[in-house]
Amino acid sequence: MCQEIALLLSAGVSTDQSKLVSKEFPLAFEEENFTLKPPKLDGWMSRRAREKNTLKTVNSSEEALIKTQLKIMDIGPPLIDLYARVVAVADDTPAGVRSRRSLQAALQQWGRAYAHISRKRREAIVNATDPRVDYLLKDETVFTRGKEAREHLFTGEFLELMLKEASQDETLARRDQAAAAASRGRRNPIRMAGYGNSSGSSAPRVYGDDFEPTARGRGRGRGGHGRGVSRGRSQSRPAKRGPR
């Protein structure tokens, strides 16, 4: 048995052998339209990839991952067939219970590998079309409920989440734009301190020839107090005379 397992691990089986093995275990399910097939890519996501000019990238990743998923899917038929036969036998002995548990564990591991490929398909498609919403993929409950979740890769529930997030982003973007426009529209009160008049004109004031600014910025005329200097003249203190 060890040699047989070692050979399978190193060489596996050919594609033709795998197809023959699958044909040995035809399955018929009680639930109508239940099949073991990889989930299909949703039509709305295909259209989105076309609009984003990433359809070629999406198709390339889908082709590679689906091939792997099909190989994993081929494990299912013989495993499910054996599990159904063991469960149908009412064997509550320790050996019977152990056999059922072993098969159940094998199915769990098979499902884990299969679901992992579906997860990688979603990640590749979202990264190619809408990488900003990749965090929505963490809620895997939208991919596990109902028939649609089994047959389609994303489902309508995920589309609703995307539309909700897009609407919120658009609302926030409009609010930020309005705030930025309002901030630009405010007039700087410091710049306006030396301009304007009662009519709201922004032209600078025109003063007479005798206006001279003081250190505090207030004009003084010739008749005003203080030591203003008239335009075109210069003043200086008389020199002190020494003792005779």
- Note the pLDDT tens digit of each residue in 115-126: 999 999 999 999
Q: How confident is the model at residue 50 (pLDDT cuts 50, 70, 90)?
A: very high
- In 3-state terms the chain splits into helix, strand, coil percentages (rounded to 5) of 60, 0, 35
Ramachandran sector of residue 235 (left: φ over 0; alpha: ψ -120 to 50; beta: rest): beta
Q: How confident is the model at residue 83 (pLDDT cuts 50, 70, 90)?
A: very high
Residue 33, helix vs strand vs coil: coil
Closest alpha carbon to 72 in 30, 32, 121, 2: 121
Domain that holds residue 109: 2-134
- Note the pLDDT tens digit of each residue in 132-142: 889 999 988 88
The sign of the dihedral angle between the CA atoms of 73, 75, 77, 81 is: negative
Say if 12 falls within a structural domain.
yes
Mean pLDDT of the chain: 79
Say if 82 falls within a structural domain.
yes
Say if 209 falls within a structural domain.
no
Say if 48 falls within a structural domain.
yes
Q: How many domains does the chain have?
A: 1
Say if 166 falls within a structural domain.
no
Quote the CA–CA distance of 97 and 148 in Å, as a whole number: 34
Say if 122 falls within a structural domain.
yes
- Note the pLDDT tens digit of each residue in 184-231: 766 555 555 555 554 444 555 544 555 455 545 454 444 444 444 444
Residue 226, helix vs strand vs coil: coil
Q: pLDDT value at position 212?
A: 52
Say if 60 falls within a structural domain.
yes
Q: pLDDT value at position 143?
A: 87
* Structure tokens, 112: 């884990």
Say if 110 falls within a structural domain.
yes
pTM: 0.66
Q: How confident is the model at residue 170 (pLDDT cuts 50, 70, 90)?
A: low
The sign of the dihedral angle between the CA atoms of 67, 73, 77, 78 is: positive
- Note the pLDDT tens digit of each residue in 101-110: 999 999 999 9
Mean pLDDT of 162-175: 71
Q: How confident is the model at residue 154 (pLDDT cuts 50, 70, 90)?
A: very high
Q: How confident is the model at residue 174 (pLDDT cuts 50, 70, 90)?
A: low
Closest alpha carbon to 195 in 182, 187, 204: 204
Closest alpha carbon to 98 in 106, 110, 112, 113: 106
